[in-house]
Structures are given as C-alpha cells and as structure tokens.
Amino acid sequence: MALLCACNNTDKKKVANHEVPPRNEQAKYDGIDISSHQGFIDWAKVSSDKDIRFVYVKASEGATYRSPHYAHNITQARRYGLLVGSYHYITSTSTIDEQFENFSKFALPAIQDLIPMLDVEVRGNWSRSQLIDSVDKFCQLIKGYYGVQPMIYSTMGFYNKNLAPHFNNYHLYIGRYSSTEPEINWEGKHTIWQYSETGIIPGIDAYVDLCRYSPDGWLDEILLPHN
C-alpha cells in the first residue's frame, strides 16, 4: 500500500500545467494502463477517481501498428490533470530500428509527462540472448531520443525467466495478479506493480489494469528530463 508523502503544496513539482500529486496512503491504487482494448474512454469521468494519479497509454506495437485511440487518450488524460506516459509492445517480427521509428514518430516527447515504457511479454522467434540484445538496443535508442532510460513492463514470471538480472537497474513495471508483491530475481525491485487486470473505473467500459507505485518512491522519479 502506498505510503503518505511528506510533500506539501510548495514541494510539488510542475509537469506541464500539472502538479505531481502527493501520495495517499488510503488509495487502493495509484494508476492505470490502457490500450485500445478499453475502447473510447471518458476521461472527465476517469479523472473523478482521485486514486488515479498516472496513466500509461499504449502507443504502438511492432513496426506498423499504432493505437487508433492513442491521440484521444493521451491528450484527454493530460487535459484532466493526469500524468501520462506511453508504451510500445515489442515483437520479434520486425527489426528494432523499425519498431523504434514507429514508436518515436508517434509518441512525441512534447506530449509525455513520464518516461516511455517498453512492454516485453513474449520471446517470439528470439532466443533469450536475442531478446535481451533486442530490448537493450531499443532501450539505448529510447535513451538517445528521449534522454532517459525507459521503464520495462513484463509479467513477473516472464521477466525472471528471460530478462533478469540484465535489466534490474531499470524502472520495472511488473504484472503479478496477486495480493503479494512481485519478487524479482537477483534482488531486483519493481517501481510499479500491476496487481489486477479486472479493475472497474467510471468512464471505461471494460476491465482495466490497476497499479500501485512502490512505497520506496514516487512519480517525480519517472518524469521525463525536460519536465
């Protein structure tokens, strides 16, 4: 459960026209992540849920797919005061250069508040070493373009089997649908825990992933550098 931040109004960092909100120890969750699976979202209603402080929005997948709801979701979420970041779903069916171009030309830095995220859930045609090399290359391209290492999303089992400990020094967004926090091999730690995939949020007519931020940090540590 999130711990109460010692911040007051004068301590809050500005992001675009928004303030980084203080933590709420009573909050059931701190944020959500969404894609086109959620369909059209009424962000005015979503923003009425004060437990939601951040949103990660799917932008792209592979070399060609771009979410048709991305522009609406990211602009409207920001309009209603939520901190937003974008993510790309990596596949083995196209080159990393092609996939990075697809993501970076769509998820423009100027419309982001939070660091980009790379969604890594399948190996596809890659061996474990090829997957690590591919993710590493994508991360370096993101660092060169956005000025920061990305967040890495994966499920706990997949990450421990295929990516740990190589990326343990990155911010990790780990899916574990349980009442027990993720356990990362080789003393790794998660930044965000996606603990449910069946959240119900006003304004979204589908189940939503619910997430909690690590008690050891808060959103100001994953802001983009230009903020």
7 pLDDT above the threshold of 90: no
> What's the pTM value of the predicted model, to 2 decimals?
0.91
Is residue 105 very low, low, confident or very high in pLDDT (cuts 50, 70, 90)? very high
144 inside domain: yes
- DSSP strands (E only) in 38-116: 54-61, 65-66, 83-89
Q: Quote the pLDDT of residue 201.
A: 98
19 pLDDT above the threshold of 90: no
Residue 39 structure tokens = 């369909």
Full residue range of the structural domain in which residue 55 is found: 22-222
29 inside domain: yes
Is residue 25 very low, low, confident or very high in pLDDT (cuts 50, 70, 90)? confident
12 inside domain: no
13 inside domain: no
Give me the mean pLDDT over the 83-100 stretch.
Answer: 98
10 inside domain: no
Q: State the Cα angle at 47 between 69 and 196, rounded to 5°.
A: 75
Q: Quote the pLDDT of residue 182.
A: 98
Residue 112's contacts (CB-CB under 8 Å, 6 or more residues apart) are 84, 85, 86, 146, 224
Q: What are phi and psi of 175, to 5 degrees?
A: -90, 120
Give me the mean pLDDT over the 23-45 stretch.
Answer: 96
Alpha helices by DSSP H, listed for the chain, are 43-46, 70-79, 96-104, 128-146, 156-162
Give me the mean pLDDT over the 108-120 stretch.
Answer: 97
202 pLDDT above the threshold of 60: yes
212 inside domain: yes
Residue 84 structure tokens = 């937003």
Q: Quote the pLDDT of residue 225.
A: 84
9 inside domain: no
181 pLDDT above the threshold of 90: yes
146 inside domain: yes
Quote the number of domains for the chain: 1
CATH code assigned at 213: 3.20.20.80
**Over the stretch 133-171, which tens digit does the pLDDT of each residue have?**
999 999 999 999 999 999 999 999 999 999 999 999 999
